[in-house]
Amino acid sequence: MASEKHGLPHDDPPSYEAASIPAQNPPPPRRLARPPPLELPALLLLKDRRVILASASPRRKALLAQIGLTNLEIIPSNFEENLPKDVSPFEYVLGTASGKALSVYETEVNREGVQEPGLIIAADTVVVSNMGEILEKPRSEAQHITMLKQLRDGGPHRVYTAVVCVTPLESARDPGYALERAWEETVVKFDSTISDELLLAYVKTREGADKAGGYGIQGTGAVLVERIEGSFDNVVGLPLRTTLKLIEKVLAKADDDELLAGEDPDEPEEEE
């Protein structure tokens, strides 16, 4: 067991169990003026509908607020995030995010006395080391610092986030919903010269205890990162541009009454 005397981490500090529990009576955050919402047809359509984020992540909630989705219901999924890791990283996050979205959809669409959900958004993020190992949230302080050393010493790593949007079909035809999903990849490189002392100091802040890969690029964890290639908000946990496209795409499929009277949209057209 590591020794506290020498400033090294314990194997299983209890604070990791409560890493995602917000502090009691935190000081009020400094609020900046929020820009007006985007006046896009899809977003205006959601104005009076239930929009559910199937995640307790405050970072995802904040990102969705940037496009005007501020009246979100936060309903974390109870989907077991234990899919086999013998698939590609993007298949892994797509499977998990789909499971989260459909789990919340099935619960909410069958609830009595509440409005049917208009849109459910779910996401899943993993960090993949340069050796191909899928890294999720650290489970102890010792594992946390080992994970960060691996990312520092191993060269660039990759962050994968999958986003899934689900909305009920107007016709209620089987399976009763439309689903759209996508994934995004960002390459991240840690500064290889950062010291063990800095890594340990960061671990003790607990900022990264509830995050895939053990760091938050949008916070103090930025001091660990030398550069990225790709979407910044993908590393935070929700690629916003991709999410907006999925929202527009899935809502366009919701009113499918006209499709029922015509051809199957998935059936290939005959060439002339």
* Cβ pair 89, 158 in contact under 8 A: yes
Give the model's pLDDT for residue 39.
83
pTM of the model: 0.81
The pLDDT of 225-244, averaged and rounded, is 97
Task: For Cα atoms 215, 141, 29, give the angle at the middle one, nearest 5 degrees.
Answer: 50
* Cβ pair 49, 69 in contact under 8 A: no
Give the model's pLDDT for residue 150.
96
Given the residues 124, 233, 255, 264, the one annotated as active site: 124
191 part of the active site? no
pLDDT band at 14 (very low <50, low <70, confident <90, very high): very low
Q: For a pLDDT cut of 70, what percent of the chain falls above it?
A: 81
CATH architecture assignment, domain 41-256: Alpha-Beta Complex (3.90)
Amino acid at 234: N
Condensed to tens digits (0 to 9), the pLDDT of residues 18-69 reads 565 555 666 666 665 666 777 898 999 999 999 999 999 999 999 999 999 9
Give the model's pLDDT for residue 7.
55
Domain boundaries, the chain: 41-256
Condensed to tens digits (0 to 9), the pLDDT of residues 55-107 reads 999 999 999 999 999 999 999 998 987 788 888 999 999 999 999 999 999 99
| Alpha-carbon gap, residue 36 to 223, rounded angstroms | 32
Q: Which residue has the tokens 């527009």?
A: 248
Would you say residue 244 has pLDDT above 60?
A: yes
Condensed to tens digits (0 to 9), the pLDDT of residues 142-177 reads 999 999 999 999 999 999 999 999 999 988 788 889
Q: Which residue has the tokens 């594992």?
A: 143
DSSP strand pairing (72-74 vs 134-135): unpaired
Amino acid at 126: V
Give the model's pLDDT for residue 272.
37
pLDDT band at 266 (very low <50, low <70, confident <90, very high): low
The pLDDT of 116-123, averaged and rounded, is 96
DSSP strand pairing (117-128 vs 50-53): parallel
